[in-house]
Chain A
Amino acid sequence: MRIENPDSISKSPDGRPIADQPIWREQFPIDWPTDDFRSRRDFTKLLGLTSLAFVVGQIWIAFLAIRRRAAGPLPALQVASREEIPVGGSKVFDYPRAGATCVLTRIAADRFVAYGQKCTHLSCPVIPKPAENCLQCPCHDGVFDLATGHPLSGPPRRPLPRLQLEVRDEGVFAVGVEEGIL
């Protein structure tokens, strides 16, 4: 039999009336007239909303970046006196605000380095290991170079936030963040 208009077909596959059909057949219609693009339209709306959500996320990041830039330079904070930390020793401190934990390490008699202590993988606290010239994250065995903060092995891909330090007569001061955010 030749079908003039395929859209006119309104017959369930098993031939029984619609009232006798199982509920899933109403929810997943397979005969053409009831297949009115409803599920496709819902999927389309989901795609549109997902696209909008990504834009909102981008704008939120841009807002955070602008706010960070407008915040200006960070205040100086005395972290330790020069004699307080021996070569190979470390000290944990908060900078620039409470809860932003950083770790200061003396890697040579005249050289200090300080990094944010949150691992850039999943925010576990990293542990300085001056004897091995690295900082190690015990959660997933991420390793960072102690001199630069760059990742050496393990899951982290971003370097640790590195603090700007000034060694004055009174001691070691944190005066800013070189790269990364705390």
Chain B
Amino acid sequence: MNLPSFARSQRLTIVAAILCFVLVLVVLQLWLLTATMDSFLGGSDAIVVPAALASLGCFALNFGLLHFFLLKRDR
């Protein structure tokens, strides 16, 4: 990925923004897991598969952001 060359202060701002976004997604995943577990233990299976797909989507987004914008660019 050919990203423009940012100044250091600009890079730090971008990195901080991406990390905040990823952190929010991880917290969302935690909420999904607890809600799904609560529902499952309560005997309802209705949200189990949609929640798993949503969590997978969050992970894919996290992986994409972290891999392509932070880890790959940071090398």
Chain A: residues with Cβ within 8 Å of the partner, total of: 35
CA distance A121 to B56 in the complex (A): 28
Interface residues of B in 20-55 (CB under 8 A from A): 22-23, 25-26, 29-30, 32-33, 36-38, 40-43, 45, 48-49, 51-52, 55
Q: 24 A–B contact pairs at CB < 8 A? A: A7-B8, A32-B8, A37-B15, A37-B74, A40-B15, A47-B66, A51-B29, A54-B59, A55-B52, A55-B55, A55-B56, A57-B33, A58-B56, A61-B37, A61-B52, A62-B48, A62-B49, A65-B40, A158-B41, A161-B43, A179-B42, A180-B42, A181-B40, A181-B43
Task: Give residues in A with beta carbon < 8 Å to B.
Answer: 6-7, 32, 37, 40-41, 43-45, 47-48, 50-52, 54-55, 57-59, 61-62, 64-65, 68-69, 120, 157-159, 161, 177-181
